[in-house]
Amino acid sequence: MAKIGYIMTAPGYEDFSADSGWMENFGCVEIVREELLSGDKARTQWDSLMARIRFGDTVVIPKLSNALRGARQLVFFLEFCRLKNIRLVSIHDRIDSGNELFPETRTSDVLTAIALLPKEANAIRKSSRHKSRIKKHIESISDKAMCRAERNKRVVNMYIEGFPIDEIFKKSGFRSRSSVFRILNEANVELDRGRWKGPLGPRKKKGDGE
């Protein structure tokens, strides 16, 4: 009859050290940690734990909403615990189905924890999806910046290696030749062939010299 802890580290969860320490002090032989990056991601570690748990074991979780997605999953989980005689300990809900811990917990406290489960689980999912979107956006910006940097580097290298401006322009993907010259100017490249020679000066504004 083993004691096994489970912690899902979703966005906004900052109690891993305290909760894992509590589980260790309680005698958990294993603490399963699962990182939830997206609200819709399957909780494979939780499913794996449920598949290998044995009759009479104890499952310790930080909170009902940390491990379960909603009331429907709670119903199935409680029936699973009943059939396998699993003891459930929820630290922050102060629930112990073994009736040894948290003697001050009242029935109303348990009902409140159950009632808040859908709301809290939904908040976790929203937070996870929001973080996932931000991460993808940052990665997209980083990828674009990297592509620009590589393109600019290629333009400079091609010019230094002697490629004509027309060919550099075609390979660069720019819509105008002025973009090629802008990149060369930013890299302090001095033009040394054709009718474009010498350092590039600042671009003239409309009306200058008129």
All structural domains of the chain with their residue ranges? 3-127
Nearest 5°: the CA angle 6, 78, 101 is 65
Contact in structure between 66 and 16 (CB atoms under 8 Å): no
User: What is the pTM (predicted TM-score) of this model?
Assistant: 0.58
State yes or no: pLDDT of 209 exceeds 90: no
Q: What is the mean pLDDT of the chain?
A: 81
CA dihedral 79, 81, 82, 84 (to 10 degrees): 120
Continuous H helices in the chain: 16-26, 44-52, 64-67, 71-84, 107-160, 165-172, 177-186
- Of 52-61, 62-71, 112-121, 194-203, the range with the highest mean pLDDT is 52-61
pLDDT for res 118: 82
Q: Residue 117: CA atoms inside 13 Å, Cβ hemisphere, count?
A: 22
State yes or no: pLDDT of 48 exceeds 80: yes
pLDDT for res 198: 45
Which tokens go with 126?
């929203």
State yes or no: pLDDT of 19 exceeds 70: yes
| CATH class assigned to 3-127 | alpha beta
